[in-house]
Amino acid sequence: MGAAGSVIARFLQKNPEIKEILCFVRNIEKAKEFLPDGFKKISIRKIILPEDKSKFIKNISGSDLLINAASYKINAEVMDAAFKAKVNYLDLASYFLRSPHVEQFDFDKKFKEFNLQGLIDAGAARRGFLIF
């Protein structure tokens, strides 16, 4: 978990309607630097994608929303997991310099078919692009 994910988790922690916040990270010790103890609604779990994808899907199933604050490099993996778990999705960035194609658009028809919402690029992207 980095700075962006920890800010999001801390903000959501304050909402009385939110019962549980699961944070999935590659490195639990690093995540604890950004999110120390004392946040009762927040649980940190280790997940490495794509290796742990089926475990990830199982863990997010039944959730209302998946917020992807991870690297834009795994957007497709995370969005696919959200689709397979039938969970609404939000991410912070795309990588436009690699290709003019935004990979998240590939999920548009799938998400619509199951009446799922997917909001992309809701934060800061890499390489100097800011998306609001």
At 74, is the secondary structure helix, strand, or coil?
Answer: helix
Alpha-carbon torsion 96, 99, 101, 103, what sign? negative
Whole-number pLDDT of residue 44? 92
Would you call 40 exposed, middle or buried from its count of C-beta atoms within 10 A (0-12, 13-18, 19+)?
exposed
Asked if pLDDT for residue 128 goes beyond 50, the answer is no
- Give pTM, 2 decimals: 0.86
| pLDDT tens profile 79-127 | 999 999 999 999 998 876 666 778 888 899 999 999 999 999 888 655 4
Those residues with Cβ within 8 angstroms of residue 57's Cβ, 6 or more apart along the chain or in another chain: 81, 84, 85
User: What does the domain layout of the chain look like in residue ranges?
Assistant: 3-119
Superfamily of domain 3-119: NAD(P)-binding Rossmann-like Domain (3.40.50.720)
